[in-house]
Amino acid sequence: MSYTIEYNRKVYRVPGDYGAVSYLLLARRGDNNVFGSDGLRCKDWYLDFFGDVSDFWPHVGRNAGHCHGGGLQRAVGWMETKYISVEEYIAIYRKAFWAAKPITDIFSDFEVTLNVVLRGDKEKAMLLSDCHGPERAAALDKFFKEKGGSLSLSQNWYGNKTSEGFVVVKDLEGFREALQLKGRVSSLVEGFGGTVRIDFEAIGMRRRRRW
Amino acid sequence: MVTVIEKGRAVYVIQDEQFSDADYLLLVKEVPAGHNDADGEACKWTALGFSWEYSLWPTIGERAGLCEVGRIRVNGDADLFNRSGVETMEGYVALYRDAISKAVDGKKLFERFSVTACIKIPGEGVAGVKDDCERDGLVKFLSEHLGVGTVPESEAIVPIDSLSAFKAAYSLSLRFPGADNRNPFVRFELKLKERVCEKVCV
C-alpha cells in the first residue's frame, strides 16, 4: 500500500490587518514508494495551509483522519515509518501551533522562491503575452522585473519548448505578493500544462546519511 | 461563531458477505445554531458518510477541527452561552471512537428510521445529464424503484427500504449534490420513526 510520510512541520504566524493573525503551515512530506538516487525516500517542504485559525484546525483534523487508516504516517530514523493515531497527530500539531514562529523567521529557515513554468509546444514556447487575462500576466511580469528575475526559454523531457523562471523572495511584502500571484495566476497557467508554485528549500537543515 | 449544534450520532455497520471489510454508515443529528426546537423541523438527521471505517475518519477529523474552533457544538444546549459539552478535538474524536465501537447492525436502520430519497430533475429531465454513466445510474435507480418506464419529469420521492437501495441512493446523492438548479439532485431524508423506545443516539 502506498502512503504519505510526514517528516516535519513548521507553523508561522502572519500578522494581518486590524490585528488579525493568519497561520502558514509548511510540512515536509514524501511518498513511501518514491526513492531518490541516494537511496533515500524523496521528501520536500510543501505549503500545506495558509489561512485563519478557524480553518487551520479543520485542515489539521482532516489530515489527522488519514492517519487512522495508515494513509499518513510518521518517519522514524532514516528508513522506518510508524503508524500514529489521530490523537497523536493532533498532539503533534498542538505543539507545533503553540511553537509558531513569526513569519519573518521563514527567510532565515528557508530560501523561498516563486517558480513559473509556461509550457508551449514543439515549435514555440508559451510567453506571458500569450496568456489569457492580460492583467494577471502583466502583474506576474511586473513582479519578475521588480525582483530581478526573468523567464528564459528552455525545453522539457518531451521536447516541448517552455519558458521558465524563478524569483527569490526575501521579504514579507514579496512573500505576500507571491502568494497572491500564485492564487491569481495558477488557473491561468495550469490550463496550458504550466505550473506556478512557491518552493521552500531549507537552509542549514539538510542532513546527509553517513554510509 | 457556532453554526451547528450536534445533538447526537448513530453508527450502523453493514457487513457484505462478499467483502471482508464492513461498511459503516455514520448519521448525525444536527440543528443550526439559534434554533431552540430540539426535535422540530430544523433538527435533522443527516448521513455524514457511508464507507469503510477508515474512509470516515477524515470527515470526523475535519468536524473535530470545527468543534475545536467553535463552529460545531456537541451535545450542547442551543443557548450559545452555555459552555457545556465537548469542546476539543480529542474529546470529539473520543466521542466517535465510542460511537463506532458501539455500531449497530445495519438491518436495524429501517426499524428506527423512515428513509426517503428526494430526486429533483429540472430542465430537460434525465436527458439533460451529460455523463452517460451518471445518466444510466440515475435511470436504473429510478426504474428499479418507481417501476420501469416511469421516470418522472421533475420530482420524485422514493421510499428506501433495503440496504442495497440505500447504497445506490447514497452514491447517487454524492454524484448529484445539487449545487445548482440546472442539474438533477438527490437528497436523503432520514426521519426517526414514532414509538422508537430504544436509544438511537450514542
Place of cell 528564459: A152
Q: Which of B102, B98, B117, B107 shows the shortest CA–CA distance to B47?
A: B117
Judged by DSSP in three states, A31 sits in: strand
Select the residue of B57, B62, B69 nearest A69 (Cβ to Cβ).
Answer: B57
Q: Measured between CA atoms, how close is B61 to chain A, in angstroms?
A: 4
Q: A197 pLDDT exceeds 80?
A: yes
ipTM confidence: 0.84
Residue with the bigger pLDDT between B187 and A142: it is A142
Residue A205 has a pLDDT of 59
Residue A206 has a pLDDT of 58
Question: Which of B26, B89, B98, B101 should one mutate to test binding to chain A, selecting the residue with the greatest count of A CBs within 10 A?
Answer: B89
State phi, psi for A33 to the nearest 5 degrees: -100, 0
Q: B74 pLDDT exceeds 70?
A: yes
Residue with the bigger pLDDT between A57 and B45: it is A57
Residue A183 has a pLDDT of 80
Residue B82 has a pLDDT of 47
Residue B166 has a pLDDT of 82
Give the confidence band of B178 by pLDDT, cuts at 50, 70, 90: low
Q: B127 pLDDT exceeds 70?
A: no
The arithmetic mean of pLDDT across residues B47-57, rounded, is 90
CA nearest to A64 within chain B: B61
CA distance A92 to A72: 13
Q: B197 pLDDT exceeds 50?
A: no
CA distance A5 to A129: 40
Judged by DSSP in three states, B5 sits in: strand
- Take residue B113 and report the three cell numbers written for it: 428510521
3-state helix, strand, coil in chain B (%, to 5): 35, 30, 40
Give the confidence band of B100 by pLDDT, cuts at 50, 70, 90: very high
Q: A81 pLDDT exceeds 80?
A: yes
Q: Is A123 exposed, middle or buried (0-12, 13-18, 19+ CB in 10 A)?
A: exposed
Contact B172, B158 (CB under 8 A): no
The arithmetic mean of pLDDT across residues B30-55, rounded, is 78
Select the residue of B58, B65, B93 nearest A57 (Cβ to Cβ).
Answer: B65
The arithmetic mean of pLDDT across residues A51-65, rounded, is 95
Per the CB < 8 Å rule, is B90 touching A57? no
Select the residue of B55, B61, B90 nearest A62 (Cβ to Cβ).
Answer: B61
The arithmetic mean of pLDDT across residues B29-49, rounded, is 75
